[in-house]
Amino acid sequence: MSTISIINPSSGLIKSGPSIKSNCSVIGTKSYSLASAKSVSRSFGLKSRNSSSFRASAMAAAYKVKLIGPDGEEQEFEAHGDEYILDAAENAGIDLPYSCRAGSCCTCAGHLVSGEVDQSEGSFLIDDQMEKGYILTCISYPKSDCVVYTHKEEDLH
């Protein structure tokens, strides 16, 4: 049994090496496995968030998110459709309030005035608040370009 490692995807070079037993049967009764998702994914230019964990996924669509703070300061950044607005803002160097990061409080509340988000993972906001455009940035995925007024926790009480 052998493992296939991609050395240079642009030239199509491959290398065989020792394998790791797998329950995955591809052809007949032989088992085949890739050397490691990490090394193969890196060959295709995918990145690891940190050295202890690696996640390979297709890139989701990117959207422009504009945040308007309580003082009227506007900050714009790009967020992917599979990335929370809060996380994307932090990656862009923008500090926003948060507490639970699970959609069960309102510390990160914002008011969406343009665009669309998916905040189906949240449990704090009631339907009336969501209909008025309130979102929780910690569990909101952008689904289009968005404009969000931030620091709206007090509006929900």
**Residue-by-residue pLDDT tens, the chain, 157 positions:** 434 343 444 444 444 444 444 343 333 344 434 444 444 444 455 544 444 444 444 567 899 999 999 999 999 999 999 999 999 999 999 999 999 988 889 999 999 999 999 999 988 989 999 999 999 999 999 999 999 999 999 998 8
Query: Model's pTM, two decimal places?
Result: 0.62
CA distances from 72 to 51, 62, 106, 154 (A): 39, 25, 21, 17
Contact in structure between 35 and 5 (CB atoms under 8 Å) = yes
* Residue 66, Cβ density class (10 Å: 0-12 exposed, 13-18 middle, ≥19 buried): middle
Length of the chain: 157
